[in-house]
Structure 1
Amino acid sequence: MVDLNKEKLKLDYPCSWVYKIVILQDDNAKKIVKDVLGGRTHTLKASKTSKKGKFASFNIDLIVHNDEDRTYLYEILGKHSQIKMVL
């Protein structure tokens, strides 16, 4: 078995990266993502809605330029008050 904790993710930058965010169903995903990413080029697509309809998930597809850029975007998405989870 491979111990993934010892392996570093190897990516060729720049590359396309997808973040999945979870927000409340009634929140405006386009506005939230624009607040975080500003004018950065991205694609936002609805993914799933929770069984009870309280939460919705969306995929954000964009180009990341290096490892620091990728992790920074993850962090700022996670810090937004209306984003409940980032994957």
Structure 2
Amino acid sequence: MEIINAMDRKVEIVYPCEWKYKVIGHRKEEILEAVKSVMGERPHTCTFSKTSKKGSYYSYEVKTIVHNEDDRTEIFRQLKTHNDLRMVL
């Protein structure tokens, strides 16, 4: 759950919580394998989102439970640095 603190507009995240990552890449199979290699045995879902207008890129939504900020940012870092993923949001 996210709560916006009106005093400084900083987002507070209450852990554990479900977190979503948007991953984008060139080939569907490579995207799915990249997500699988990063997530390992961690329970998650990876759902197709859309294809770019020219059909060059595919996006997927990855959902999982994160237990703290370090957990959340480490998953993001691993996804972002994976060679088969072009962008992570």
Q: TM-score w.r.t. structure 2 length? A: 0.84
Aligned residues, how many? Answer: 82
> Partners of 1:36 and 1:82 in 2: how far apart?
11
> Partners of 1:43 and 1:26 in 2: how far apart?
15
Cα distance per residue 1:34-82 (max 9 Å; x no partner): 1111111000100010000010000000000001111111111000001
Unaligned runs of 5+ in 1: 1-5
**Which of the residues 69, 72, 75 maps onto 2:74?**
72
The letter for the 2-side match of 1:77 is L
- 8 A Cα contact 2:51 2:57, kept in partner: yes
The letter for the 1-side match of 2:72 is R
**Which of the residues 56, 72, 80 maps onto 2:58?**
56
Provide the aligned C-alpha RMSD in A: 1.3
Identity %: 41
Runs of 4+ that moved beyond 6 A: none
